[in-house]
Each structure stands twice: as structure tokens, then as C-alpha cells.
A and B are shown apart, each in its own frame.
Chain A
Amino acid sequence: MNFELPNLMPMLPEMALLGMICFILIADLFIRDENRSVTFVMSQIAVAITAVCILGTSGPSVSLFGDMFTRDAMADILKLMICLSVEIMFVYSSSYLKTRNLFRGEYFVLTLFAMLGMMVLISAGHFLTLYLGLELMALSFYAMIALDRDNARATEAAMKYFVLGALASGLLLYGMSMLYGVTGSLDIAKVASVIDSGQVTEGAPLLFGLVFVVAGLAFKIGAVPFHMWIPDVYEGAPTPVALFIGTAPKFAAFAFFMRLLIGGLHGLVADWQQMLVIMAVLSILVGNVTAIAQTNFKRMLAYSTIAHMGFVLLGILSGSIAGYSAAMYYMAVYVIMSLGAFGMILLLARAGFESDMLEDFKGLNQRNPWYAFMLLLVMFAMAGIPPTVGFYAKLAVLQAALQAGYVWLTVLAVLLSVIGAFYYLRIVKLMYFDEPKQIAPIAPRVDVRLVMSLNGLAMLVLGLMPQSLMSLCTYSIMHSF
């Protein structure tokens, strides 16, 4: 046996991030409360350095540690998107956290740990790495939701998420163990080759394993019927945490799907396709219909997430490269929209006022036409109305599903999205047609102002020029699978 140190460069981003987290964790102990901004800036720099490391070490696909860790184009691009969305999240959340005495080191360290978990998950080539990344991410979330520990709602949400998350992890592990039993390996590539070779004689354990794995996946992405945690968590968690949970992890969840279903279980495509069809239809239906009844903006966004995830599933279940890239594109677009919507809640929130009820948005156009216009763009994008970017995301997904022959599914999805349009329109109605209830001036910091404007205009700019993001997604999928 000869021990050779593998080339660790492909893991540099993760290692650098871990190092910086440890440094921040210790350095934060010596920073006094009034200087907490130092931690904030350090965390932002850490994310930026991670992004630079990813860009600097990108190259052809490689695997490390006996296929435990994979680095390919999809991983790089998803990680970069995560870095970007975490940076934006930091910008949006700082003043909210300050006014609520949550501007503490734990928040930043936990965010970075969750981010590390996502990055590990995205690069996983092995069931164990997958699980490791998943749990690192999830455990950080449980703590972050309960960060405002005197808030009964937040604690309840954290508890709920923890119990359900643990159950889902259990399902996932159980499914993985069955797959291991049948194929004799935890290595995703080997599992795939064993299944493809047709050596598996026991069909039932394989299918059971698949069902459990899909259930675990569905829980993470929040697809019906595994969606119950999303509204409670979104509503209960402090808004910046809800913003975080609603954005960056979606990329990780997408990678999770791709690694397991397409990387590992592609041989069973006919089996998981059926499950995904049912989940996609139910998600779009339940998400859109239930969102209408909400009075809380965060809760409405939660149900809208569920519906959007249905569309992502629509892309994945198409079973083609075009479908996967459409799903990835949809996910990226969804995250940009979601950042804008949650960012606006944070922008309007002030000390003692959450601004998370629908009626808080009344007359926004009269209070500040610019931000009303930004949220209008986000809402029309979520409803999928051209020329905003949301339309192209839906177009790409529907195109892929139609190509795969799911005509009835696309018709159904399209009709249900009309229901969806109603509650997005209601936000526009509140902002533009109603008289304001709040009259407090809206004066966010310069960086928030700038990022929010870019975020809103991105809806329009990416909609008028959708090609770049679309080809980025196609490129990353083409070079990874």
C-alpha cells in the first residue's frame, strides 16, 4: 500500500471556508458588541474569498478521496450562485438584525457553516458525503431559526423543523441503506453502474430504497406531500433566516436531486419519474391554491415556493439534459426572485415592526414608487409574465416537459399558474391601488438600496436578455452529466 497525498486543490474553497469560519468563530469572542460589524465584514470577506477560490481552482471534472468528493462544472456554478446569494442575504439582513439584537457572531458563523454544508453536499460523490453535507446544513438551520430564543413562534418553528427534518433524514438514510444492501456500494457512481448492469435481482428492496430516498429529497425541496414544514418555518423564523432558507439551500437541494436521481439512480428513471409527476402536480396545485388564503406575506411566499418547486420537478422529471438545465435555470431564477421578495420585507421592516403582513404593503407606491416598482417586477416575475425573467424559466421547463411527451402535465401546470397569478397580482394591487396604512419613511442604507435596485432590475434585464444565464445552466449540466 502506498499512501499518496491527493491533490487537494479542488477542495480549496471548502477548506479555505472552514479555516475562515474557525478564525471568525475565535476572533468573534474578542470583539465587543458595539464592534460586531467587524464580524459582519469578516464574514462577507470570507464568502468573497470562497468565491475567488472557486473561480481560481476551477477546471475539468475531478474526483477526490475515492470518489467521495466531486468537482465538476455544475458544482462550481451552483457554489458560486450560493456565494452570491449569501452575500446578498448579508446585505439585506444587517439592519434588521441590529434592531432586534440578533446581530451576533453566532448568526454569521452558523450561516457560513450552513454554506459549507451546502458546498459539501453539492460536491458529494458518495452517500456519506451527501449525508454529511446535508446534516451540517440542516443542523445550522435548526439553530438559526431558534436564534431569537425568546420568540415562541421561532422556537416552535425550529422544533417542528428539527423533528420533521430528523424524520426525513431517517427516511433518506433508510433508503440509502437499502440501496447499499442491494448494490453493495455507497459510492454513487458504483451504485449507478451496478443498477445499469442489471445485476440487481431483488427488485423490491431497490424500489423501496428509491421510494425512501425520493421522500427524503422531496422533504428537503419542500414538495407536496412533504411540504408542511415550509410555511411554519418561513413564518416563524426571523426574516433574514427565512430569506436564507428560502434561497441558497435551493441550489443545494437541486444538486442533491441531480447527484442522487440522475447521477446514481438514472437506471430507475421510469420509476422515479412517476413519483415526481405526482409530486409536481400536487405541489403546483396545493402551493398555488393555499397561497391565496394567506394573509401573511412570508407564509404566502412559502406556499409560492412549494408551487415553484413543482415547476422545478417538472424540469427534472423530463429526464433530458434540456430538462435538467431548465430545472437549474428555474432554480436560479427562483432564488433571485425570492431574494427580492424577502429583501423587500427586510427593507420595510423597522424596530418593532415586522412588515410581514400583506396589508403592510398597502400603498407602497405612494410611499416610495421605486421600491414598489421593484416589488412589482418581482411579483410579475413570480407570476411568470413576460418580459420578466420568470416567464423564461417557465418557458424552459414547459418546453422540456412537452418534449418529454407530458402534454397533459404542461396544460395542467399552465392552468394552475393562472391561479398563482392571482395572489401575486394581489400584492401589486395592495401596493398600487390601495391607500397606505404605514407612513413611516423608507430610508434603507446605501448598500441595501443599491442591491435591492439591482435585484429588482435583474428581473427585467435577465428577462430581456435571458440567454446568458440559460446557457450557463446548460453548460454546467452538459459538462457534468
Chain B
Amino acid sequence: MFDGLPLLSLAIWVPIAAGVLVLLTGRDSSPGFSRWLALVGALAGFLVTLPLYTGFNATQSGMQFEEFSSWIPAFNINYHLGVDGISVLLILLTSFTTVLVVIAGWQVIQKKVAQYMASFLILSGVMIGVFAALDAMLFYVFWEAQLIPMFIIIGVWGGPNRVYATIKFFLYTLLGSLLMLISFIYMYHLAGSFEISDFQNLPLGMTAQILIFISFFLAFAVKLPMWPVHTWLPDAHVEAPTGGSVVLAAIMLKMGGYGFIRLAMPIAPDAAHALSGVMIFLSLMAIIYISFVALVQTDMKKLIAYSSIAHMGFVTLGLFIFNLLGFEGAVLQMISHGFVSAALFLCIGVMYDRLHSRLIADYGGIANSMPIFAAFFMLFAMANAGLPGTSAFTGEFTVILATMQANFWYAVLAATTLITGAAYTLWMYKRVVFGEVVNKAVATMEDLNGREILVLGLLAVAVLGMGLYPFPLTHVIQVSSHNLLARILQSKLH
């Protein structure tokens, strides 16, 4: 039924076109129109990505839904799109999150509504482009282009220290990715094209691989983010508006992991092996040390931001122990964290809209005034702590299991997250939701309205569904992971 339609192009350009339309028709006097138009655009963007999943052939290892046309012949750069089992899920996650973000910003955003909605729609298309690009330069163009809307989102609708946070975010990411550009150009001279598959097949010496890997590492580790280049993230999260935090945590961080999977590891497999010790060390550092940092946070958004870094540690840990279980666990962890972190940031957003504070100390006893909210928040807090039955358990447990196969002590260290993760999340939950109502304003807080229940409900279904029945996800990623891992395990040196 969808044969012949350029589905990936639609997935990229429908939200962008909708965003431009919102921008052009937007008037400050009629924000309602912009909101509805944005919602229609986001839904259309989500609908065009659905056939990508339903039509996906999970038994096939190659790229699917491929589109190819020449773009810049002077440098042999092509508009080449395609997805495998890993990217198709990330694309779905992106289009789904965009719908949530549009709904979540419905009432909260009163200033420059059209520009806000348009930024998110354009951002959504650009991020899908990152996951769908099979040409390195196309990938790079999308990769950098998403900085522009995010820069605006944090800077215009963010908190009091937004300017510092957004410039730090922009420059940090730019610095990380520019060296990747040089690697791309270097490999272009050897391979004669910017095709990622050509790069993957390119024989490279050890020194070249190490340098290329380091340049990729800087780009992706900053984005993921890994300890110690994570410092931009708490700032950006705290200052960003709720929608910005959601997109940042749910999708943008995944780009770092995706970059390792698609580019860094298959292009420089020997370097990845040689440096795996360092990578595992950094991952464990993130899991253990950052968890303790999260424990002492007084700002809820900051706490969740640090918890994101710790959870991303599982992604890199799973990738760099080089077995199939770990690889799949890393991908599952990315998807799961997309749901859980989005939900937690939305929960904090709900509270912030009512009390205009993110400090844990300002709350207490919310369960009395907001029982429905407390129930949802409970579910997502448990998911963040990795409770069995939630999506986070699937990812984290798989990674720990895989690590156990590789090295017992790594697994023990990684498993501390089950304690620390539960500690920082549940302790925060306890202080915010239970106890005496200290702050008078808390008593007057209204419970969730229908719109908020819809958003959190959708996420709750996703979190529970993925935790109880992960098969629809695992069977899509299985063949692709196997295929990619086989490539990564193959040395390029001989």
C-alpha cells in the first residue's frame, strides 16, 4: 500500500514543511491556530513514520526503504536515505516524542507560540534526517542543523540562565563535531565518496583508525554525553523549557549512541577494540560516580539530567563489551530511556507549571493534592530505578547480563546502579510526593488535566508495554544488530 512512496523523505520533510507553515501563518494574536496546525503537522509526521515499522522486514539485514539521488556531484555527496532495525525505532521514537511535545506545550507556552511549535517541528524532521542518512555528509548536515532550532528553543523559552546554557550547549557540540568533519573529508579522499557503507568497508591502518575514532568519540561522547564531557547537559536541561528537555533527553542524547553504532565502531573497529578499556572505564564512571552526583542534587531537573548521563553509561557499556546481548541491550536502553526520561521531564514540567519551582525542598506532600499525578510519577520513578516490568529493566538487565558474560567485576560495578538509581530516584520521589505539606502553595495545586493525562498516559503505556512485552522491539533490532556486530568484530587491518 505504501510501495513507491518516499517514506523516509516524507518522515523528514513533512514535519519541516509543517514547521515552516506554522512559522509563516503564525500571528501572536491567534496562537490557537498555530497550536492546532502544529498538532496536525506533528500527527502527520508521526503517521508517515508508522508504515516504516509496519512495512519493515525484520529478517533482512540490509538497509530498507532506501532512497538515492545525487545532491552535490562536485564532492560526490548524495541524498541517500535508508533505515535498518535500529534507526527505524529511533525514527519512530522521534516522531512520537514530537507529538507529545506539541501537546505538552499547549498551555504552558504563551510567548511566541508559532515560533515555539515551528522550532520543534523543524527539529523533529532534522533529527529524523540524522537517523535516516546513509551519506556521511548528509548525516553531518542534519547533525549540525539541529543545533540551530535547539539553540533558539533553549534561548527564547528557557529559564533565567538560559543564554549561558544555550551558548555552552551550542559551542560544546560544535567543537565536538567539527573534528568529525575532518575525519569525513579524510576518508572521502581515500574512498572517493561520502557513503557511510564505503567508509565502513574502507581499509584503514591502526593510527588512522585511532585518530578517526578519537574524532568520532569527541563528537558522540559530547552528545551522549559521557563523563567527563557531560557538563553542558545539566545546564542545558535545567534552563530548557519542558519540551526542550524532553527532546534533548529522549532523542538528542540517542544520537551520540547512534553515532557510535553507525559510524565510530564499524569504521574504526580495531581502534574501538583497542580503546574499549577506556570506553568501559568512562561508562562505569558515568554509572557509578554520576549516580552519586545525582543523589545530592536539590534541583529535580538537574537530578534527572544526571540520571540520564548514568543511564547513557549503560549504552556505551553495552556497546563496548562486543557481544550481541550487550549490543541489543544498548539499543533497548536507548529506546527505553527515551520514554522514561521524557516522562520524568514532563512530570517535572507539570509541577513547575503549577508552582514555578524545580527545587525538591519547595515540594512535599503532593500526593494529597495531586493523587493521579502521584500515581503516574510513581510509575516513571520506578521505571527510572529499573524496576522489573518497566522498559528500563529490559535494557539495563540485558546490558548487565551481557557484561557478566564478558567480565564479572564490570557487571558487579554496573549493577550498583540498581541501588544508587533506586536511591536517588525514590528519595526524590519521597521528598516531593509524600510527607507533610510544608509549602502552602502545594495544597492548592490542581491535579492533572485531560491533556496532561493523555500525554503521561501514552508514555505509561509505552513504558509498561516495552517492559512486559519487548518482542516487537527486539525482533526488529535483532538481525540488524547481529549484522552490525559482525562487521565490528571483523578487523580491518588485514
Q: Specify which of B74, B147, B170 is in contact with A467 (CB 8 Å cutoff).
A: B74
| Neighbouring A residues of B166 by C-beta, 8 Å | 429, 433
Closest B residue, CB atoms, query A383: B174
Q: Is B356 an interface residue (CB 8 A)?
A: no
A417 to B152, CA, bound (A): 20
Mark each residue of chain A from 407 to 431: 1 if its CB lies under 8 Å from any CB of chain B, else 0: 1001100110110011001101100
What's the nearest-Cβ distance from chain B to residue A26, in Å?
Answer: 47
A414 to B162, CA, bound (A): 26
B-side interface mostly:
helix
Chain B stretch 179-209: residues in CB contact (< 8 A) with chain A:
179, 181-182, 185-186, 188-189
A342 to B182, CA, bound (A): 31
A418 to B176, CA, bound (A): 10
What's the nearest-Cβ distance from chain B to residue A216, in Å?
Answer: 32
Q: Specify which of B147, B148, B156, B185 is in contact with A402 (CB 8 Å cutoff).
A: B185
| Neighbouring A residues of B145 by C-beta, 8 Å | 385-387
Q: Is A399 an interface residue (CB 8 A)?
A: yes
A380 to B151, CA, bound (A): 11
By the criterion CB–CB under 8 Å, are A429 and B163 in contact?
Answer: yes
By the criterion CB–CB under 8 Å, are A402 and B162 in contact?
Answer: no
Q: Is A295 an interface residue (CB 8 A)?
A: no
What's the nearest-Cβ distance from chain A to residue B164, in Å?
Answer: 10
By the criterion CB–CB under 8 Å, are A398 and B115 in contact?
Answer: no
| Neighbouring A residues of B137 by C-beta, 8 Å | 395
| Neighbouring B residues of A433 by C-beta, 8 Å | 155-156, 162-163, 166
| Neighbouring B residues of A426 by C-beta, 8 Å | 167
What's the nearest-Cβ distance from chain B to residue A420, in Å?
Answer: 10
Q: Is B171 an interface residue (CB 8 A)?
A: yes
What's the nearest-Cβ distance from chain A to residue B329, in Å?
Answer: 33
| Neighbouring B residues of A267 by C-beta, 8 Å | none
A382 to B141, CA, bound (A): 15
Interface residues on B, range: 20 to 34
Chain B stretch 87-139: residues in CB contact (< 8 A) with chain A:
112, 115, 137
Q: Is B4 an interface residue (CB 8 A)?
A: no
Q: Specify which of A385, A392, A418, A429 is in contact with B147 (CB 8 Å cutoff).
A: A385
Q: Specify which of B144, B162, B186 is in contact with A386 (CB 8 Å cutoff).
A: B144
By the criterion CB–CB under 8 Å, are A418 and B174 in contact?
Answer: yes
Asked whether A432 and B182 contact (CB < 8 A) given A425-B151, A474-B74, the answer is no
What's the nearest-Cβ distance from chain A to residue B60, in Å?
Answer: 32
What's the nearest-Cβ distance from chain A to residue B479, in Å?
Answer: 32
Asked whether A415 and B75 contact (CB < 8 A) given A386-B141, A387-B141, A425-B170, the answer is no
A415 to B175, CA, bound (A): 7
What's the nearest-Cβ distance from chain A to residue B144, in Å?
Answer: 5
| Neighbouring A residues of B71 by C-beta, 8 Å | 467
By the criterion CB–CB under 8 Å, are A399 and B144 in contact?
Answer: no
Q: Is B72 an interface residue (CB 8 A)?
A: yes
Q: Specify which of A380, A411, A414, A467 is in contact with B72 (CB 8 Å cutoff).
A: A467
Q: Specify which of A392, A398, A418, A428 is in contact with B175 (CB 8 Å cutoff).
A: A418
What's the nearest-Cβ distance from chain A to residue B402, in Å?
Answer: 36
Mark each residue of chain A from 364 to 396: 1 if its CB lies under 8 Å from any CB of chain B, else 0: 010001000000000010000111000110011
A407 to B404, CA, bound (A): 42
By the criterion CB–CB under 8 Å, are A414 and B73 in contact?
Answer: no
Q: Is A470 an interface residue (CB 8 A)?
A: yes
| Neighbouring B residues of A399 by C-beta, 8 Å | 75, 185, 188
Q: Is B348 an interface residue (CB 8 A)?
A: no
| Neighbouring A residues of B182 by C-beta, 8 Å | 398, 402, 407, 410-411, 414
Interface residues on A, range: 20 to 34
A433 to B156, CA, bound (A): 5
What's the nearest-Cβ distance from chain B to residue A407, in Å?
Answer: 8
| Neighbouring A residues of B170 by C-beta, 8 Å | 421, 425
By the criterion CB–CB under 8 Å, are B178 and A417 in contact?
Answer: yes
By the criterion CB–CB under 8 Å, are B185 and A398 in contact?
Answer: yes
| Neighbouring B residues of A414 by C-beta, 8 Å | 178-179, 181-182
By the criterion CB–CB under 8 Å, are B167 and A425 in contact?
Answer: yes
Q: Is B140 an interface residue (CB 8 A)?
A: yes
What's the nearest-Cβ distance from chain B to residue A330, in Å?
Answer: 14
Q: Is A466 an interface residue (CB 8 A)?
A: yes
What's the nearest-Cβ distance from chain A to residue B128, in Å?
Answer: 15
A425 to B151, CA, bound (A): 9
Q: Is A471 an interface residue (CB 8 A)?
A: yes
Q: Is A438 an interface residue (CB 8 A)?
A: no
Q: Is A151 an interface residue (CB 8 A)?
A: no
What's the nearest-Cβ distance from chain A to residue B124, in Å?
Answer: 15
Q: Is A403 an interface residue (CB 8 A)?
A: yes
By the criterion CB–CB under 8 Å, are B156 and A380 in contact?
Answer: no
What's the nearest-Cβ distance from chain B to residue A405, in Å?
Answer: 10
By the criterion CB–CB under 8 Å, are B75 and A395 in contact?
Answer: yes
Chain B stretch 386-412: residues in CB contact (< 8 A) with chain A:
none
| Neighbouring A residues of B189 by C-beta, 8 Å | 402-403
A466 to B73, CA, bound (A): 10
A66 to B233, CA, bound (A): 66
What's the nearest-Cβ distance from chain A to residue B296, in Å?
Answer: 31
By the criterion CB–CB under 8 Å, are B174 and A421 in contact?
Answer: yes
Q: Specify which of A386, A425, A429, A474 is in contact with B140 (CB 8 Å cutoff).
A: A386
What's the nearest-Cβ distance from chain A to residue B179, in Å?
Answer: 7
A409 to B200, CA, bound (A): 26
A287 to B170, CA, bound (A): 21
By the criterion CB–CB under 8 Å, are B178 and A432 in contact?
Answer: no
Closest A residue, CB atoms, query B111: A366
By the criterion CB–CB under 8 Å, are A391 and B152 in contact?
Answer: no
What's the nearest-Cβ distance from chain A to residue B419, in Å?
Answer: 40
| Neighbouring B residues of A421 by C-beta, 8 Å | 170-171, 174
| Neighbouring B residues of A387 by C-beta, 8 Å | 141, 145
Chain A stretch 31-45: residues in CB contact (< 8 A) with chain B:
none
By the criterion CB–CB under 8 Å, are B181 and A398 in contact?
Answer: yes
What's the nearest-Cβ distance from chain A to residue B174, in Å?
Answer: 6
Asked whether A380 and B148 contact (CB < 8 A) given A414-B181, A433-B162, the answer is yes
Closest A residue, CB atoms, query B24: A370
| Neighbouring A residues of B179 by C-beta, 8 Å | 411, 414
A391 to B151, CA, bound (A): 18
Q: Specify which of A402, A418, A466 is in contact with B178 (CB 8 Å cutoff).
A: A418
What's the nearest-Cβ distance from chain B to residue A178, in Å?
Answer: 38
A471 to B74, CA, bound (A): 7
What's the nearest-Cβ distance from chain A to residue B85, in Å?
Answer: 28
Closest B residue, CB atoms, query A410: B182
What's the nearest-Cβ distance from chain B to residue A462, in Å?
Answer: 12
By the criterion CB–CB under 8 Å, are B171 and A432 in contact?
Answer: no
| Neighbouring B residues of A403 by C-beta, 8 Å | 189
Task: Point out residues on B near A: beta carbons under 8 Å.
Answer: 71-75, 112, 115, 137, 140-141, 144-145, 147-148, 151-152, 155-156, 162-163, 166-167, 170-171, 174-175, 178-179, 181-182, 185-186, 188-189
The 3 closest A-B pairs by CB, nearest first: A386-B141, A414-B178, A433-B155
Chosen A-B contacts, 26 in total, with CB atoms closer than 8 Å, are A365-B112, A365-B115, A380-B148, A385-B145, A385-B147, A386-B145, A387-B145, A392-B72, A395-B75, A395-B137, A395-B181, A399-B188, A414-B179, A417-B178, A418-B174, A421-B171, A421-B174, A422-B167, A425-B170, A428-B151, A428-B155, A433-B166, A466-B72, A467-B71, A467-B72, A471-B74
Q: Told that A422-B167, A425-B167, A466-B72 touch, could you supply 7 new A-B pairs with CB distance under 8 A?
A: A385-B145, A386-B141, A410-B185, A411-B179, A418-B175, A422-B171, A467-B72
